[in-house]
Structure 1
Amino acid sequence: MRRSFAFKCTLLVIAWLLLAIACVQIPSRLFWPASFGALTLPLALGLNLAAVVYWLLRNWRVAVLPAAVAFLTWPHFQRGLAVHPLRQAPTAEVGGQPVRLLSANVRIFNVYAQLRDKDSGSSRKFIQWLAEHPADILCLQEFYNEPAGSRTREGSLFRSTDKIGVKAGRQAFVSKTLTNWAGSEFGMAIFSRFPIVNRGTISFDKLTQNHAMFADLRLPSGDTIRVYNFHLQSMSMDEKDIVDSYSSKEGLKRKGLGLMRRFKRGLVARSVQIDTLVRRFERCRYPMLLCADLNDLPYSYSYDQLADHFQNAWATVGNGVGATYNGALPFVRIDNQFASPQWQIGDFEVHYDIPYSDHFPTSATYWLPAAPAATVQAGTL
């Protein structure tokens, strides 16, 4: 009787797990409640692993079923909790061109009064750290720059394009979404030590801070790669409101409905935005690297669409959760780097020692293996 009940529970967990995976693949614009089912996927994965352990101790023959399910769904497990304790990173022996890539949501370098600290120390340190970082390519979201001649009182403090770009030996491509009355620029940016041979901006309906940009870069090997930098729809949800909503029944009543509306709007918008981008990605003939503030968790439609086409750097080489949100909400990874199949991923790091934004920067090294000689000759005919 006891074993029969345990077996029924195991079947229910497996059914739950498969349903949650199905929910991940449903666009929120078609049926947004499915996103809540998708968010239960980590729990279903964990319970299935618990079932494996339970049946190994009780009856190894029954354990085969949840073990097979765990094997088949392991890529989904790796999305939220990467496990690669014995992995060795590729080295120069693979040949080809290494590319060091850094991505960061810089939160407009804390220029607003409510974000500033004493003497704008965090702003100064963040810009300096980015300028001195050895990365070949920088992709920055929520970028801010005060060009020469802007009518502000900070002098050269926020002349970030010059400091991170030309003075650091990098070309700059800034996708501006707003230039205010003082001449200050808001948007996103790509900085590259490799020549930028083509560039473009992709808007979602209208050009806002939530948009995408790309740059085609010519490597010393002669290969051309495309780097995308994008920032999907924000939730517009205050962290304090979220904490208050689950800390008490009163907080849930007071904050819950408004948070739900904003949550729904964000889900629907991001599903439309990611579908727009995936169609662009499918038409690109170059090896691609993607940097993104997804504003979505690894168990979401947005992440799933990218994972179907690309390697996620953290899920491929990392260990642990790889949280990137610098705030009171734990274990939140919303900043990601992806690479097309041509690349080998060397390493990936979340820079927890750089706390100057509400997002921690991420960096990775990618190797683009040299094409075989026969392939190169065939391509030139």
Structure 2
Amino acid sequence: MLAYFLPYISPNTVPLFSVLSLAVPLLIICNVLFIIYWILKLKKHFILSSVVIGIGLVFSSPFIKISGKKDNLNDDTKIMSYNVRMFNLYKWIDDDSIADKIVKFINKKQPDILAIQEFHDTKQKKFSYKYQYFVPTSKKNNFGLAILSKFPIINKGSLNFSKSANNAIFIDVKKGKDTIRIYNIHLQSLKINPTKENFGEETSEKLIKRLADGFQKQASQTEVFLRHQQNWKGKTVICGDFNNTAYSWVYNQISYNKKDAFTEAGYGFGKTFNYFFPMRIDFILTDTGATINSFKTYSHKYSDHFPIMTRVNWN
């Protein structure tokens, strides 16, 4: 029940409390299991967890979508967001062909707009896009954020988060008579590595402090984005890896007065991070004037994130 208040409490106010936002999907699963357990035991206790789940269904972002939507129109704009983990540059996956597989996958799906987080720029990566905007956060390693477009880019810029390897960039593209702003956001990384004991920390206290510090940075970065966004009133698409769930303050702030493509047209858990329970931390949001005709999360394990794609229409 406490976790349902997380979207309304800034991490700068109670940093430790915000850590719960990562655990909300797991808490939901636990409550569902309790409902089943108490029903089998013929005990009234199942009512408590049922009430908790019921409140969540009404007031919070859906944990699972039972039905989706697939209305594909010829003038839809296909938009993909994908954290490619630098195309497996440091061999996290024991497969030398990962970079080629990612490129082939993207070229096969042919999104009109492609927002990539943790992009690593090399000449070997061949994408069929005439218009590209890449902003490295590390000039030494040549990786950062990129937006690739089939439509002409008439304006572009970077928000340049201070003291962070994370960032947010944007482009304005011209599609017919429409001008569409595309944001690509990568909020502060929490460096969660499920393959390491205690996520790489010696003690749970260090882990919680590190996560709390990361959430505070996310909050500051979100405020920078919100100030920048205020100056744009036109058609908008926000893509990115928020490094936080739909039950967090940062998601609540960024998605305010927006449509979530998964919520509008998705199906299933919408899991975007390769973890032992469903975590949806990658998002595509639009302005309220857009119609979301479809949304899909792909299961390709070429990164620690899964690619997501939606079809959007403003007619």
TM-score range, shorter chain: 0.7 to 0.9
Match of 1:225 among 158, 180, 189: 180
Using the size of structure 2 for normalisation, the TM-score is 0.85
CA distance in 2, matches of 1:170, 1:223: 19
Q: Does the aligned pair in 2 maintain the 1:82–1:316 contact within 8 Å?
A: no
Match of 2:9 among 15, 26, 47: 26
Q: Name the larger-Rg structure.
A: 1
Aligned counterparts, 1:234-253, within 5 A = 234-241=189-196, 244-245=197-198
Using the size of structure 1 for normalisation, the TM-score is 0.71
Q: 1:72 to 1:265 in 2, by over 3 A?
A: closer
Give the Å deviation of 1:145. Answer: 1.2
CA distance in 1, matches of 2:208, 2:29: 26
Match of 2:312 among 356, 366, 373: 366
Cα RMSD after superposing both structures: 3.2
Matched, 1:214 2:214: no
Q: Does the aligned pair in 1 maintain the 2:155–2:171 contact within 8 Å?
A: yes
Paired residue secondary structure (1:215):
strand
Give the Å deviation of 1:91. Answer: 4.8
Q: Does the aligned pair in 1 maintain the 2:84–2:303 contact within 8 Å?
A: yes
Matched, 1:179 2:139: yes
Aligned counterparts, 1:49-60, within 5 A = none
CA distance in 2, matches of 1:72, 1:299: 10
Q: 1:40 to 1:174 in 2, by over 3 A?
A: closer
Matched, 1:346 2:293: yes
Q: Which consecutive segments of 4 or more residues in structure 1 shift more than 6 A?
A: none
Give the Å deviation of 1:359. Answer: 0.7
Q: Which amino acid aligns with 1:126?
A: I
Matched, 1:115 2:92: yes
The structure in which a higher percent of residues are helix is 1
Give the Å deviation of 1:46. Answer: 8.4
Q: Does the aligned pair in 1 maintain the 2:15–2:215 contact within 8 Å?
A: yes
Structure 2 unmatched ranges of 5 or more: none
Paired residue secondary structure (1:33):
helix
CA distance in 1, matches of 2:231, 2:77: 23
The structure in which a higher percent of residues are strand is 2
Which residue does 1:287 correspond to in 2?
235
Aligned counterparts, 1:64-143, within 5 A = 70=54, 74-78=58-62, 80-83=63-66, 85=67, 88-92=69-73, 97-112=75-90, 114-115=91-92, 117-118=94-95, 120-143=96-119
Q: Which has the higher contact order (CA 8 A, sep 6+)?
A: 2
Give the Å deviation of 1:129. Answer: 2.2
Q: Which amino acid aligns with 2:60?
A: H
User: Cα deviation per residue 1:207-226 (whole Å; 9 max; x = unaligned)?
Assistant: x4310000001012x11000
Paired residue secondary structure (1:240):
coil
Which residue does 1:297 correspond to in 2?
245
Q: 1:103 to 1:236 in 2, by over 3 A?
A: same
Q: Which amino acid aligns with 1:233?
A: Q
Paired residue secondary structure (2:310):
strand
User: Cα deviation per residue 1:276-306 (whole Å; 9 max; x = unaligned)?
Assistant: 2122223212211111111111211111112
State the identity as a percent.
Answer: 27
Which residue does 2:225 correspond to in 1?
277
Structure 1 unmatched ranges of 5 or more: 1-16, 148-156, 370-381
How many residues end up aligned between the 2 structures?
A: 306
Paired residue secondary structure (2:185):
strand
